[in-house]
Amino acid sequence: MNDLASSHPVKPSNCGFTLLEVIIALSVFGFLIGGLLALLPWGVEGAGNVRDRNVAYGMTDAIQVELELMGFGLVESLTDENRVLDLVAPADGREVRWEPNDNQISEYPIAVSQLDELDQELPAGQRYFLIRCSQFPEDNRHEHDPSNGYLGLQVDVQWPYKTLDAEGGVEERIRSHFHFPLAITR
């Protein structure tokens, strides 16, 4: 038995990694972690979009309440032909308010007091949702007829409220939005 052990000497084994193997493993690990970290902002943004969309969907009743508080006649006259009625809401959607534009202020005295009240209670910096209400176009089955007793509206909820481009105008291409029909009764 001694003869066998002495004829085949056991060499000590080097059980370890070379420097090259360690560098390759670390670079592969770095690429994987870098790729995963690149997805992090996208995931956070996606969660914010889901939250905003849920708030926007939940505002439908508040939009209808604000339109009914304005009164059928006023909403009807502010949305006739090619006019659009703008409403606004903060990011939490807790309240929806009418935001008069320059033409409405010059035509309707109530719009002046409404704009002053809106600026005090919900300054432009706190407005997050922009809600555009308009009547259905001619030859649409929901087209408004004064005799039917209700006013059908197309509602477009957009967010963020307004983003200024380089020239100081409103850039609408980055807004998220959804449409839904709504009716208020006389």
Q: Is the pLDDT assigned to residue 170 strictly greater than 70?
A: no
Report residue 143 as tokens.
């087209």
Q: Identify the band that residue 50 occupies on the pLDDT scale cut at 50, 70 and 90.
A: confident
| Domain coordinates in residue numbering, the chain | 16-58, 60-185
pTM for the full predicted model: 0.71
Handedness of CA 43, 45, 47, 49 (dihedral sign): negative
Report residue 46 as tokens.
């996606």
160/10 Cα distance (integer angstroms): 74
The whole-number average pLDDT for the span 109-130 is 92
Contact 52, 159 (CB under 8 A): yes
Which positions ≥6 away from 20 have C-beta within 8 Å?
none
- Between residues 57 and 175, the one the model is more confident about: 57
Q: Identify the band that residue 35 occupies on the pLDDT scale cut at 50, 70 and 90.
A: confident
Identify the DSSP state of 125.
Answer: G
Helices (H), ranges, the chain = 2-7, 19-58, 60-70, 72-78, 102-107, 109-121
Alpha carbon of residue 63 to chain centroid:
16
Q: Identify the band that residue 47 occupies on the pLDDT scale cut at 50, 70 and 90.
A: low
